[in-house]
Amino acid sequence: DVVMTQSPLSLPVTLGQSASISCRSSQSLVHSDGNTYLNWYQQRPGQSPRRLMYKVSNRDSGVPDRFRGSGSGIDFTLEISRVEAEDVGVYYCMQGTHGPGTFGQGTKVEIK
Amino acid sequence: QVQLQESGPGLVKPSETLSLTCAVSGYSIGSGYFWGWVRQSPGKGLEWMGSIHHGGSLHHNPSLQSRVTISRDTSKNVFYLKMTSVTAADTAVYYCVTDEGQWNINNWGQGTLVTVSS
């Protein structure tokens, strides 16, 4: 299975500042169809995960444009600009290029 | 808007079978998507378990070998998870999910905690 490694695992952030989460895969996530199936999920405390981003950089409906996904190949980043209190939670990357789909271990974002 | 609701026993004894149901509203499970299960445990994090395509084909995580069975009842618009020979390591929150394909999970139920203990 493809191993997804996130860093850091814990990310204290000051309100209004930016946060950056890295996700690295054990092999390239470029699919034979040309797409890169890398998603980002947010799990707020006590809630189910919610998809934020699909195919690297496509924001889901209702996701603020403060969230930005980027990357290619094996290295991907989720950036949150102007962090707000509602952004607290755990963020997961997930790859779907190589079956079975696999998740990163999660990055906990908290307010300093 | 598709809504998913898990239900089933919250406590299962070791070596017994875990059985969960996911009731779907807002969409017919025979019309599209993959319908799947993901679990979340402190030890293993998030783990995709398997799914059933709207056409009926089944897909399982090889790591769970033959312990997992996913099925559906389109007349009731529900799908099911059965996992045999459970151990304490199967204690987790179990989510039913919709998948647009290529493990592109776009919707999650609220989750149900299943504890394996005697």
Res B43: pLDDT? 81
Cβ atoms B116, B86 nearer than 8 A: yes
Residue among A37, A50, A92 whose CB faces B103 most closely:
A37
Nearest CA in chain B to A29: B102
What is the C-alpha separation between A53 and A70, in angstroms, rounded? 10
- Amino acid at residue number A81: S
Residue A79 clears pLDDT 90, i.e. is over it: yes
Return the CA Rg of chain A.
13
Q: Which of A99, A101, A106 sits opposite B45 (nearest CB)?
A: A106
Which residues is B7 bridged to in the sheet? B21
Amino acid at A53: M
Residue A77 β-bridge partners: A22, A70
Q: What gap in Å lies between CA A38 and CA A36, rounded to an integer? A: 6
Instruction: Give the Å distances, CA to CA, from A65 to A69, A74, B39.
Output: 10, 24, 29
Q: Which of residues 48-87 of A touch B (CB under 8 A)?
A: 48-51, 54-55, 60
The one-digit pLDDT tens for each residue of chain B (118 residues) are: 899 999 999 999 999 999 999 999 999 999 999 999 999 998 889 999 999 999 999 999 999 978 999 999 999 999 999 999 999 999 999 999 999 999 999 999 999 999 999 9
Q: How far away is chain A from the Cα of B103, in angstroms, using its nearest Cα?
A: 5
How many Cβ pairs closer than 8 A exist between chain A and B? 54
